[in-house]
Structure 1
Amino acid sequence: IEEPLVVKRRETLKPGFVHSPWKRAYVQQHHIESNWRTGDITSPKLLKGHDDHVITCLQFCGDLIVSGSDDNTL
């Protein structure tokens, strides 16, 4: 999934000079390609899910996700 490029404002070095978002995009792409070549990545976190029953409730709150199930677990 591609995430939108976030451009942060920086102070200008000289009147009329503005940093380009292309440098940041290039650095991000270089980092991704370097990780693919070297295999130097962090493993994703795996969370234990519900074992048996169907999830009947799902709530998103900021950067949290809570799920509820027919087995009365959260």
Structure 2
Amino acid sequence: MSILGKIVDLDASHGYGFIEEENESARVFFHVRDLEKSQIEPHVNELVEFDIESDLSGCLLALNISPSVSK
């Protein structure tokens, strides 16, 4: 099940950023390699849909990120 969120921080030069889940204050880390191929470049405040997974340290990671179809 995809989760709706918004890109709230982006370091384009290093290829990573953070997404904030809709109605949540927690930030989820993402790397540009996890963006859907049709999306050329992420932007702050862009609505996206994504899946969440925890790494071995328990940090939340956003995967399978795509532009949100609902506005």
Q: TM-score range, shorter-chain basis?
A: under 0.3
**Structure with greater helix percent:** 1
Q: TM-score under structure 2 normalisation?
A: 0.24
Q: TM-score under structure 1 normalisation?
A: 0.23
**Structure with greater strand percent:** 2
